[in-house]
Amino acid sequence: MKLIGTGWKSPSLIDVHNKVTFTLWLCGCNLKCPFCHNWKIAEKIGCGELDINRLLDELDSASLLIDYLHVTGGEPLLQWEPLLELFKTSYENYNVENSLNTNFTLTIPLKKHLDSGYVHHVATDLKVPPNEMYGVENWKALWESYLKSLSLMKEYDIPLELRIPVSRFPWEEKKPYIDQALKALGDANFYVIINPLLNYPVVNPRNKEWCDKHCSPQKEELNIIKDYLESQGIKVYLKGHSELI
């Protein structure tokens, strides 16, 4: 199994809501989100072939302390085949459940992972409005794929952590896309994390100028989204950066 990444951290208490994880970062991404603070990983800077034996040794040692092997990036599904092998090994050999953080634009590889039975938790960002947040020309096609992936989640009883990175774009520009996403999700098993986009120097975004304009939303902007979702009976958690907004 050959995986290109930057490394791993264990234990981590901040990558999945209320869970302890062994978190692994894989390289490469098909989006260019201007707020991305993992853009070096997305651009494959500082990446290399991972030492899988060492990774598995450390996973074995951590197995009793963690809830998940959590794989993030970048976009992990760009390496979906070896990643699936890793998930199979972690679950079958070390009894560790797996969590996948993906941008949900690669629906076919996502389905292969969900069908495998080796993915036990999924996380994705709901980036709204996508025309501003994806950072690529073909955002419409990617948004369609994103909706298909959300819709797919209805077929599996796998918990989905839907993270909303909140920017300062007006609510009227975000709401139609949030509505489309909720319609696609239907009765899927999901909860929402509201995550205010932070700016330099707290994080190191890909495009600082963009972030000067659109990051660091006001608390009221977070509450509008929270209230809207809660009014529909959705479980919502606000990520704890209140001192920074």
Calpha distance 109→107 (Å, rounded): 6
**Interface with ligand SF4 in residues 55-74 (CB under 6 A):** 73-74
**Interface with ligand SF4 in residues 85-114 (CB under 6 A):** 103
Torsion of CA 187, 131, 236, 75, to 10 degrees: 80
From candidates 3, 16, 29, 114, binder to ligand SF4 by CB under 6 A: 29
129 near ligand SF4, judged by CB under 6 A: no
Q: How far is the CB of 157 from ligand SF4 (least distance, A)?
A: 25
**Per-residue CA distances from 154 to 123, 181, 192 (Å):** 14, 12, 16
15 near ligand SF4, judged by CB under 6 A: no
Q: How many CB atoms lie within 10 A of CB 49?
A: 9
**Interface with ligand SF4 in residues 31-50 (CB under 6 A):** 31-33, 36, 38-39, 42
Cβ pair 184, 132 in contact under 8 A:
no
Give whichever of 121 and 127 is closer to ligand SF4, judged by the CB atom.
Answer: 127
Cβ pair 130, 90 in contact under 8 A:
no
Q: How far is the CB of 135 from ligand SF4 (least distance, A)?
A: 7
Give whichever of 41 and 182 is closer to ligand SF4, judged by the CB atom.
Answer: 41
Cβ pair 109, 79 in contact under 8 A:
no
75 near ligand SF4, judged by CB under 6 A: yes
123 near ligand SF4, judged by CB under 6 A: no
Calpha distance 105→77 (Å, rounded): 9
Give whichever of 62 and 83 is closer to ligand SF4, judged by the CB atom.
Answer: 83
208 near ligand SF4, judged by CB under 6 A: no
